[in-house]
Amino acid sequence: MGEAVEPDPFSELRAFLREQIELAPSRKPSAFEAVKAVLPEIKELKAKRRTDAEIGEFLARMGVKLSVGTLRQYIQNATRELAGRKPVRRRRKARAKSPARTSRAPSEHRPDPQPRATAARDPVPTRGHAPASSALGHSMSNRDL
């Protein structure tokens, strides 16, 4: 007797996905892919003294709309990629971490704050000048020199 072959449980799924592949429209290339594809022409335009803004206008006429800064970045990344180097990935700014939660003692159990030890100062400014601490943001003044 021959062995019974089990039907593939994913055959229906595969057939459905193959249909979707045929029905799906082809996607438009990304702006970076467009810049990468026409990079030699962009380099020639730059050699002919065309500005990035002018090149951006040419690309916008053909449906590739980019800001000048983004265009410059794409040109730089595409140049690196075509030269065989990895594109530079910049790190994002670190997000501020939320302060660690600590359990605080109830207010009646907190110790009294200690007064700061400060040097005795003249209450009247010398020669009519305001103290340097308010003007400079630190406690150094001419008297300290």
Q: Angle formed by the axes of helices 68-82 and 52-61, to 10°?
A: 90
What confidence score (pLDDT) does residue 84 get? 86
Q: Indicate whether 92 pLDDT > 80.
A: no
The pLDDT assigned to 99 comes to 62
Domain span at residue 35? 27-82
- Distances, alpha carbon 69 to alpha carbons 60, 63, 76, 127, in Å: 14, 17, 11, 54
What average pLDDT does this structure show over 82-104?
70
Q: What is the pLDDT of residue 136?
A: 54
Could you tell me the pLDDT band of residue 34, with boundaries at 50, 70 and 90?
Answer: very high
In a domain, 9, yes or no: no
Residue 62 has which token pair?
Answer: 């053909």
Residue 139: phi, psi to the nearest 5? -90, 5
In a domain, 107, yes or no: no
pTM (predicted TM-score): 0.47
Q: Is residue 48 part of a domain?
A: yes
pLDDT at 37 over 80: yes
**60 part of a folded domain:** yes
CA angle 45, 51, 56 (to 5 degrees): 85
> For the residues 14-37, what does the mean pLDDT come to?
87
- Specify if 138 maps to a domain: no
CA separation, residue 17 to residues 7, 8, 26, 145 (Å): 18, 15, 15, 81
- DSSP-derived letter for residue 128 is G
Mean pLDDT calculated for residue range 57-84: 93
If one counts every other C-beta atom within 10 angstroms of the C-beta of residue 119, the result is: 6
- Domain count of the chain? 1
Q: Is residue 55 part of a domain?
A: yes
Backbone phi and psi for residue 90, each to the nearest 5 degrees, phi listed first: -90, 145
